[in-house]
Every structure is written in structure tokens, then in C-alpha cells.
């Protein structure tokens, strides 16, 4: 991939995660890249976004930290649009995956009439809402927010009124207040292997294209990539989000929710090379590195090696 296409941003928040530490991931990765001789911020023109954490005024167990998340995401949307005005592709290294709602919203806000395809390389579907969440962690909700869906018919929770109000803001975040921003037909899950019953029902209902470990093994990673791009052939632009827990947990457990039976480094490299070279690419994200969770095989070093291969 050509590095000059990109502008690197670190989005240093772990408001949406169940474990603290992911906010340290972006700087840890940049440090590992620099130590390896690959100075990403010099090559790509680097900026950082760091949230201001305000004392929470409300208890929102079915949307933890949702007030801080809303405030920060409103700033992220504007920054993504500033980068698109420069005709650069945002290359985002984010703390936790909840930020993807704002990152994709910024693209949709700037390209309001474009059909956005999303390649979600992740062990998890992130399709929950405050009504269905088993944890209350907002990093499990970005796809639902982008689809403008609550899934109340599957709900088991009774969120407080303030949670409902802030969730509505997250669904409509952006200057144009567009919702939905993406459709189920324009999403592809790759390496999905840890879901709840509600998410499986949504995947089936929305007919979301999904490659689980068994499909990847049967098809081979090259055909998975080909079929993904074919499925999104009618999309005007593409956003690629790579959660590091898509990798097999034997490689590194330095992420909040590591899962076995994931991608190999070779498979991940092939996917990012293929999708990152697509002319329609308008956003590339690496997310959920938590350097506090694996000192023996640091995830930031694993991803630094991966990125050196991708941008070789």
C-alpha cells in the first residue's frame, strides 16, 4: 500500500471498553513502529485526538461512560471531515472500538449521498444497543448505532431516560444527523466467532455477509477477500476496521477480549493489503490494542510487524 495516501490519527480513548488500558494502545503502537525503524507519523503526517474526561453526572449501567463518549465522538466526526477535505484517507489507530461510530459517521457526513461499505474484521459483531447489551460497554454497540437500530424487540434491559437520549445522539451523530449510515447488506464480518443470541438473530435478519473461522478455512483467505469485495461491489466507498482480537489469541492476548481460533498474521496481512489497496477506501482503522494485558507477547509489537509488511 502507498503510505502517502494516508493521514494517521490516534484516537486515544477507552471510554467504551470493559477494561482500562486501550487508550494507551495507539501511542504504544507508534512507539513500536518507531523502534522497528518505521516512523509512521513521519511517513503519514500524524495527529492525535485525546479526550477530556469529565466527571459523570449520571449512572448509566446500560451505556457506561456514554456521556463522555458522546462528547468525544462529536469532535471525532469533525476531525475526520477535515482530513477528507485534504483528499487524504484517515488511517486511525483507536483505543476502543466504540469510536468507529464517529469515524464512519464522519465519512458518511462528508459523502452524504454515497453508499458506504464496511469491512469489520473482528471476533465480535458489536451489534448490541443499550436495550440488549449484556455488559453495558459501548464498544459492543457501534454497528447498531451506525445502522440506527435499537433491537427493542430483543431487549432485556430498561435503560434510564438519559441513556436513551444519549444513544439517540450517537445514532445521529454528525452535522447532517443522518441515520442510518449503513445497511446490513453493506457490511461484511470477517473472523467473527464470539456473539450473543441477539446478535445472531440480527445477522440472520439483516442477511449480513459473515466469514467465520470455518468458512475462512474452507475457502482460503484469498477467496474470502475476493468475495468480500464482490459483495460490496455496489458501494461507493469502503471503511475497513481491524480489531486486533480478530487475530488468534495465541499470537497475543494484549486486547480486552482475546478469542481463540482467529486469523494468523499472514491472513491478516493479506486482508489489509488487499482491502487497503482498493481505490474506494476512505478509512482504515486499527483498534483495541491494550498494552497492559500481555507483557510476554505485546500486541503493539505484533501489529507493528504486521503494518511493516502491509506498507512494505
Tens of pLDDT, residue by residue over 68-96, are 999 999 999 999 999 999 999 999 999 99
Q: What is the pLDDT of residues 270-285, one digit of tens each?
A: 999 999 999 999 999 9
Q: What is the pLDDT of residues 189-208, one digit of tens each?
A: 999 999 999 999 999 999 99
HSE-up (13 A, CA, CB side) for residue 116: 28
HSE-up (13 A, CA, CB side) for residue 287: 31
DSSP assignment of 167-191, as one string? HHHHHT-STT--S----GGGEEEES
DSSP state of 10: E
107 vs 111: CA distance, rounded Å: 6
pLDDT at 294 over 80: yes
Give the 3-state secondary structure of residue 295: coil
pLDDT at 58 over 90: no
For residue 312, name the pLDDT band (cuts at 50, 70, 90): confident
HSE-up (13 A, CA, CB side) for residue 31: 10
pLDDT at 168 over 70: yes
Q: What is the pLDDT of residues 210-251, one digit of tens each?
A: 999 999 999 999 999 999 999 999 999 999 999 999 999 999
Question: Which residues, in sequence order, are CB contacts of 90 under 8 Å at separation 6+?
Answer: 6, 7, 9, 80, 83, 84, 103, 106, 282, 283, 284
The whole model's pTM is what? 0.97
Q: What is the pLDDT of residues 11-30, one digit of tens each?
A: 999 999 999 999 999 999 99
For residue 295, name the pLDDT band (cuts at 50, 70, 90): very high
What domains lie within the chain, and their CATH numbers? 3-310 (3.40.800.10)
pLDDT at 46 over 90: no
Q: What is the pLDDT of residue 137?
A: 97
What average pLDDT score do residues 258-264 get?
98
Q: What is the pLDDT of residue 57?
A: 59
Cell of 201: 438473530
Q: What is the pLDDT of residue 249?
A: 98
Q: What is the pLDDT of residue 199?
A: 97
Q: What is the pLDDT of residues 100-151, one digit of tens each?
A: 999 999 999 999 999 999 999 999 999 999 999 999 999 999 999 999 999 9
284 vs 255: CA distance, rounded Å: 19
DSSP state of 86: T
What average pLDDT score do residues 166-187 get?
98
pLDDT at 44 over 90: no
Q: What is the pLDDT of residue 56?
A: 65
Amino acid at each position: 500500500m502507498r503510505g502517502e495516501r494516508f493521514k494517521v490519527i490516534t484516537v486515544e480513548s477507552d471510554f467504551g471498553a470493559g477494561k482500562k488500558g486501550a487508550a494507551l494502545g495507539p501511542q504504544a503502537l507508534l512507539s513500536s513502529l518507531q523502534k522497528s525503524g518505521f516512523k509512521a507519523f513521519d511517513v503519514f503526517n500524524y495527529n492525535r485526538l485525546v479526550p477530556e474526561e469529565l466527571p459523570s453526572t449520571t449512572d448509566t449501567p446500560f451505556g457506561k461512560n456514554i456521556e463522555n463518549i458522546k462528547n468525544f465522538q462529536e469532535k471525532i466526526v469533525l476531525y475526520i471531515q477535515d482530513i477528507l477535505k485534504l483528499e487524504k484517507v484517515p488511517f486511525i489507530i483507536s483505543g476502543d472500538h466504540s469510536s468507529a461510530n464517529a469515524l464512519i459517521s464522519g465519512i458518511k457526513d462528508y459523502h452524504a449521498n454515497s453508499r458506504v461499505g464496511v469491512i469489520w474484521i473482528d471476533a465480535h459483531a458489536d451489534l448490541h444497543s443499550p436495550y440488549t447489551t449484556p455488559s453495558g460497554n459501548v464498544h459492543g454497540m457501534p454497528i447498531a448505532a451506525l445502522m440506527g437500530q435499537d433491537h427493542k424487540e430483543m431487549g432485556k434491559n430498561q435503560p434510564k431516560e438519559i441513556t436513551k437520549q444519549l444513544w439517540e445522539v450517537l445514532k445521529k451523530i454528525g452535522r447532517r444527523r443522518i441515520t442510518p449510515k449503513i445497511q446490513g447488506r453493506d457490511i461484511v464480518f470477517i473472523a467473527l466467532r464470539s456473539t450473543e443470541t441477539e446478535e445472531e438473530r440480527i445477522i440472520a435478519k439483516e442477511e449480513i455477509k459473515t466469514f467465520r473461522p470455518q468458512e475462512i478455512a474452507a475457502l482460503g483467505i484469498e477467496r474470502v477477500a475476493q468475495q468480500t469485495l464482490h459483495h460490496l461491489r455496489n458501494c461507493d466507498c469502503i471503511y475497513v476496521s481491524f480489531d486486533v482480537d480478530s487475530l488468534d489469541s495465541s499470537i497475543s492476548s494484549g486486547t480486552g477480549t482475546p478469542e481463540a481460533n482467529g486469523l494468523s498474521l499472514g491472513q491478516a496481512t493479506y486482508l489489509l493489503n488487499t482491502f487497503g489497496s482498493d481505490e474506494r477506501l476512505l478509512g482504515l482503522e486499527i483498534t483495541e490494542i491494550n498494552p497492559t494485558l500481555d507483557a510476554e507477547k505485546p500486541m503493539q509489537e505484533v501489529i507493528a510487524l504486521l503494518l511493516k509488511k502491509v506498507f512494505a
